[in-house]
A and B are shown apart, each in its own frame.
Chain A
Amino acid sequence: MKNKNPIVQSLLISLWFVFLTFPVMVIRVNTVEDVVEWRWWNMLWVAVGAFLLSFLWRYLLARKARGPRAGSMPIAQRIAGNRKLLVPFLAGLAAFVVVFPLLFSAYQVNIMITALIYVVLGLGLNIVVGLAGLLDLGYVAFYAVGAYSYALLNHHFGLGFWLAIPVGMAMGALFGILLGIPVLRLRGDYLAIVTLGFGEIIRLVLENWNAFSFGPSGIANIPRPGLFGIELSLHQATIYLYYLMIALVLFTVFVVNRLQNSRLGRSWLALKEDDIACQAMGIDRMKTKLAAFALGATWAGMVGVIFAAKTTFINPASFTLWESIIILSIVVFGGMGSITGVILGALVLILLPEYLRAFSEYRMILFGATMVLMMVFRPQGLIANVRRRYEYHGPDEEPQAERA
């Protein structure tokens, strides 16, 4: 635009958006009664909104262009770097987590379990997307595989929850490898589409193959997890499941954390940065990618079993593409590769809509907008992944590893 005056520019942008949104926002035709609704107020909102947002947009772009301010450290890092803050913070968090189900109602605990399921799913997908840099849009397929493994094996052979967990994991891994072998040769964006297609195939098959999966009506009466054969009331079972999920989250965090700095984790990172240099360094590209893919799928399979046990009823509608996208937004929103970020992302994205019921219809549109805005202004996510860096300090000093 030639005119550099920001107000004139914003006015023009505002006008443009008024024009752009005119047919969809202003006019609505009621085809039943054959009347046209003219919603002129919407036009005003769009005009004012676009005008104000364009200022914000310019400000944020300018701020991004300036780069991060020197000396400013994000709050998460400040807590993590300082033992005096970190220990009480973790202790408080642990205490809260332990007493949570005793303080709040079963309804709240149930919501929290759902959020924790997404935490684990997010961490699992994080292995694939955040660590290895493979965009997987069909992650929900493995989740479905896990859930259906438990549901079907239980239905036909009466398999229990605890046995189903390793089976679900194995099935997830198997599907991950089966899909991964042919597909991982593809470049990033092709991979995204194939995994998306695969996820949809699994769902459509589950929906249509009635003899195998009972079709859209799904499978009901899946037993909840058992505790050494003790009968649990519904409330107790919920609390039990909650602690199970907490344990699982801790286990996942432990595994992902160890993976991150393992030989495999380093290879993922290297592969993500530069494919060819990596192969020159003697890293088996295929094996490394497959490991990430299969590990992610294993986790999804495991969580699938838990999901089936939690809801006691599953049908293909729980495994749509939207689930994949929500899990992906959790990873992106929280910060790709960052464990704390993904946990926070899952809690925010799952709990917030639950408590903001009034906004529930705006949930998806906000998801979409957040994904775009995150990519444009804060591609590293809520909490940026802190990468271990080694610095060389000359021959006199002790070589030291430090987190930067």
Chain B
Amino acid sequence: MEYFLELFLGGLTRGSIYALIALGYTMVYGIIQLINFAHGEIYMIGAFTALIVANVLTLNGMQGIAVLVIAAVAALVWSSAYGYTVEKIAYKPLRDAPRLSPLISAIGMSIFLQNYVLLAQTSDFVSFPSLIPDFAFMDPVAHIMSSAELVIVATTVVVMILLNLLIKYTRMGKAMRATAQDKTMAVLSGVNVNRVISTTFVIGSALAAVGGVLIASHIGQINFFIGFIAGIKAFTAAVLGGIGSIPGAALGGLVLGLTESFATGYVSSDYEDVFAFVLLVLILIFRPAGILGRSTTQKV
């Protein structure tokens, strides 16, 4: 039972991270129908920025929660900036191109960013300081759930609620929903679509950065390649829940995280990544619209 609970909580943590990254995919896909392949790289850059900033601060004698906050804010700022810039360079000139073009451009961007970090930083795994402190009140259950895991799950829940409020009640949220439904109509009603798209990229990237900082500080090491596998899995999560749907991304992330956790715990840990891919292939074949997605017929 305890093993089960441990796997369950591990899956919950994993799923939260997937969900945070998946939101970026799903929001961008909802608005411009593009699989933003470079999204995983934004997450990786977020983790790297946090690492660099945290290391510089610690070496200058700073300690405690302040380091975590400053590093996280830096990761947010720079990830968003990267997301914004990537959109301007690689996707905006291709707004009206055939669908294959932005996709290939996105793959190119992803390779570029990976190797940019590889060349500018290092190809090795670097150890990430565990920024999240251990809470005293978690001691009795620490063998099942660590403080870091609690922080990850809690942050994810809070971020999800905030995002939902943003989408539902603000002007920008309304504009986003309008753009997702019908871009031309949104332009005609006076929505600045370019700004909406930029904002979507910024928000998505910021969420990815949150995920990046949390998971890096939980797992304890990062390298330039972490974005790739995380990106694929988050995308799986987004598809699983129904791409374009925000609650879907959250649900998809949880389902994927739990599946992986139980599959590696009870079946075999060698095939950890295979489970995600098999799940992805199965979902796309049997229910391409995802759990919460509505299937739409594509018109010409």
Interface residues of A in 98-137 (CB under 8 A from B): 129, 133, 135, 137
For A277, the chain B residues whose CB sits under 8 A away are 300
**Is A362 engaged at the interface, CB distance under 8 Å to the other chain?**
yes
A261 adjacent to chain B (CB < 8 Å): no
Q: Mark A170-189, 1 if CB is under 8 A from B, else 0.
A: 00000000000011011111
With a cutoff of 8 Å between Cβ atoms, the chain A residues found around residue B94 in the complex are: 375-376
Mark out the residues of chain B between 265 and 300 whose CB falls within 8 Å of any chain A CB in the assembled complex: 270-271, 273-274, 277-278, 280-281, 284-285, 288, 298, 300
CB of B298 within 8 A of CB of A201, answer: no
Of B105, B113, B239, B278, which contacts A371 at CB under 8 A? B105
Closest Cβ neighbor of B276 among chain A residues: A197
Within the complex, the shortest CB–CB distance from B222 to chain A, in Å, comes to: 12
Within the complex, which residue of A16, A20, A194, A379 is in contact with B78, where a contact is CB–CB below 8 Å? A20
Shortest Cβ distance from A28 into chain B, in angstroms?
A: 6
Check B104–A375 contact: CB distance below 8 A: yes
A79 CB within 8 Å of chain B: no
Q: Which residue in chain B gives the minimum CB-CB distance to A321?
A: B228
Across chains A and B, the number of contacting residue pairs, with CB separation under 8 Å, is 172
A47-77 interface bits toward B, Cβ cutoff 8 Å, 1 = contact, 0 = none: 0000000000000010000000000000000
Whether B159 is near chain A, meaning CB under 8 Å from some CB there, is: no
Q: Mark B90-116, 1 if CB is under 8 A from A, else 0.
A: 100110011111111101111111111
Q: Nearest CB to that of B54 among chain A residues? A: A29
Do residues B277 and A370 form an inter-chain contact, with CB atoms below 8 A?
Answer: no
* Closest residue of B by beta carbon distance from A201: B277
- Kindly list chain A residues whose C-beta atoms are within 8 Å of the C-beta of B113: 368
* Complex Cα–Cα for A370 and B93 (A): 15
**CB of A401 within 8 A of chain B?**
no
- Indicate if the CB atoms of B82 and A376 lie closer than 8 Å: no
B85:A16 contact, CB within 8 angstroms: yes
User: Mask for A340-367, Cβ within 8 A of B = 1, else 0?
Assistant: 0000000000000000000001101101
Establish whether residues A365 and B115, one from each chain, have CB atoms under 8 Å apart when the complex forms. yes
Closest chain A CB from B74 CB (angstroms):
7
Whether A193 pairs with B280 at a CB distance below 8 angstroms is yes
Assembled-state Cα–Cα distance A130/B28 (Å): 26
- Asked if B185 lies at the interface with its beta carbon under 8 angstroms from chain A, I say no
Given A20-B81, A190-B288, A201-B274, A28–B100 Cβ distance below 8 Å? no
* B217 interface contact, C-beta 8 A: no
Number of residues of chain B lying within 8 A (CB) of chain A? 66
**Chain A residues near B51 (CB, 8 Å)?**
29
Chain A: interface secondary structure?
Answer: helix
Give the complex CA separation of A11 and B105 in angstroms.
26
A277 to B49 CA separation, bound complex (whole angstroms): 50
The reply on B52 being an interface residue by CB < 8 A is yes
CB distance from A199 to the nearest CB of B (A): 9
Interface residues of B in 108-126 (CB under 8 A from A): 108-122, 126
| Chain A residues near B55 (CB-CB < 8 A) | 29, 31, 36
Does A365 contact B116, Cβ atoms closer than 8 Å?
yes
Q: In angstroms, how far is the closest chain B Cβ from the Cβ of A347?
A: 20
Contact of A31 among B33, B126, B284 (CB under 8 A): B126
Q: Which of A204, A275, A277 has the most CB of B within 10 A?
A: A204
Cα A23 to Cα B51 with chains together (Å): 10
Q: Which residue of A lies closest to B113 (CB)?
A: A368
Roughly how many angstroms separate A218 CA and B239 CA in the complex, as a whole number? 34
Q: Is A231 interfacial (CB 8 A cutoff)?
A: no
Asked if A368 contacts B119 (CB within 8 A), the reply is no
Nearest residue (CB) in A for B105 is A375
Q: How far is the CB of B51 from chain A (nearest CB, A)?
A: 8
Q: Which residues of B contact A194 (CB under 8 A)?
A: 280-281, 284-285
Answer whether residue B232 sits at the interface, using C-beta atoms and an 8 A cutoff: yes
Contact yes or no, A27 B100, CB < 8 A:
no
| Contact of A370 with B117 in the complex, beta carbons under 8 Å | no
Interface contact A24-B104, CB-CB below 8 Å: no
Whether A162 sits at the interface, judged by CB under 8 Å, is no
The interface residues of chain B lying within 8 Å CB-to-CB of A186 are: 284-285, 288
Assuming the A-B contacts A205-B274, A370-B108, A376-B94, are A29 and B285 also in contact, with contact meaning beta carbons closer than 8 angstroms in the complex?
A: no
The complex places the Cα of A208 from the Cα of B103 at a distance, in Å, of 31
Known: A198-B277, A369-B108. 20 other contacts (CB 8 A): A20-B82, A20-B85, A23-B49, A29-B56, A135-B100, A135-B103, A185-B285, A194-B280, A200-B232, A201-B277, A204-B277, A328-B107, A365-B112, A365-B116, A368-B113, A371-B104, A372-B90, A372-B105, A372-B108, A375-B90
Q: Which residues of A contact B (CB under 8 A)?
A: 16-17, 19-21, 23-25, 27-29, 31, 34-36, 42, 61, 129, 133, 135, 137, 182-183, 185-190, 192-194, 196-198, 200-201, 204-205, 208, 274-277, 321, 325, 328-329, 332, 361-362, 364-365, 367-372, 374-376, 379
30 contacts between A and B (CB under 8 A): A23-B52, A24-B117, A24-B121, A28-B120, A29-B51, A29-B52, A31-B126, A36-B56, A36-B59, A135-B100, A188-B99, A189-B34, A193-B35, A193-B235, A193-B280, A194-B285, A196-B232, A201-B281, A208-B270, A208-B271, A328-B104, A361-B119, A364-B115, A367-B108, A368-B113, A371-B105, A371-B107, A372-B89, A375-B97, A375-B102
* B residues in contact (CB < 8 Å) with A: 33-35, 45, 48-49, 51-53, 55-56, 59, 74, 78, 81-82, 85, 89-90, 93-94, 97-105, 107-122, 126-127, 228, 232, 235-236, 239, 270-271, 273-274, 277-278, 280-281, 284-285, 288, 298, 300
Q: Which 6 A-B pairs have the closest CB atoms?
A: A371-B108, A368-B112, A368-B111, A365-B115, A375-B105, A29-B55
